[in-house]
Homo-oligomer: A and B are copies of this chain.
Amino acid sequence: MEPLSSQAKLDWVIDALAMEVAEPSSGPLSRRLYLGLRERIQAGRLAPGSRLPSSRRLARELCLGRNTVLAALEQLVAEGFLETRPGAGTFVVDLPQLAGASSAPGAASEQALAPAGEAPETRDVTLSSRGTRLLGYSPCSDVRPGVLTPGLPALDRFPQALWQRLMRRHLHRAPTEWLGYQTQGGVPALREALCDYLRLSRSVRCRPEQILIVQGAQQGFELITRLLTDPGDRVWVEEPGYGGAKACFEAAGLELQAVPVDDEGLRVTADLPAPRLIQVTPSHQYPSGVTMTLGRRLALLETAEKHGAWIVEDDYDSEFRYGQGPIAALQGLDNDGRVLYVGTFSKVLYPGLRLGYVVLPEALVDACRRANARLHREGQYVVQSALAEFIAAGHFSRHVRRMRDCYRDRQARLRDALAPAVRAGLELSEGQAGMHLVAWLDDHATEAALVDRGLYHGIGLSPLSTYYLAPPGRPGLVLGYAGASEEEIDRAGGWLCREWLALRAERGASSMTKAATEPGARA
Contact = CB atoms under 8 A, between A and B. Distances in A.
Interface string A210-251: 100001101100100011111111000000000110011001
Contacts of A361: 120, 122-123, 125
A307 to B, nearest CB: 13
Contact of A177 (B93, B141, B155, B297): B155
B327 A79 contact: yes
Contacts of A134: 226-227, 371, 374-375
A336 B230 contact: no
Interface in A129-182: 129-131, 134-135, 137-142, 145, 151-152, 155-156, 158, 160, 164, 167-168, 171-172, 176-182
Contacts of A35: 203
A35 B203 CA distance: 8
B120 A376 contact: no
Given A227-B134, A371-B134, A373-B138, A352 B181 contact: yes
A336 B75 CA distance: 24
B335 A121 contact: yes
Interface in A69-88: 74-75, 78-81
B152 A119 contact: no
Contacts of A156: 176
Nearest to A293: B80
A298 B122 contact: no
B127 A367 contact: yes
A379 interface: yes
Contacts of A215: 215, 354, 379
A122 B376 contact: no
Given A205-B119, A370-B139, A328 B38 contact: yes
Task: Pick from A97, A117, A122, A375 the residue with the most CB of B within 10 Å.
Answer: A375
A138 B299 contact: no
B128 A233 contact: yes
B363 A124 contact: yes
Interface in A349-381: 350-354, 361-364, 366-367, 369-371, 373-377, 379-381
Contact of A354 (B25, B243, B350, B380): B380
Contacts of A74: 324
Contacts of A185: 141
Interface stretch (A3-11, A51-59, A108-116): A108-116
B227 A127 contact: yes
Contact of A176 (B155, B210, B323): B155
6 contacts: A120-B336, A123-B336, A130-B229, A151-B181, A160-B176, A352-B379
Given A139-B370, A354-B377, 20 more contacts: A31-B200, A78-B323, A80-B294, A95-B294, A97-B302, A116-B332, A119-B205, A119-B206, A122-B337, A134-B371, A134-B374, A138-B373, A155-B176, A155-B179, A155-B180, A215-B215, A215-B379, A351-B379, A352-B381, A353-B379
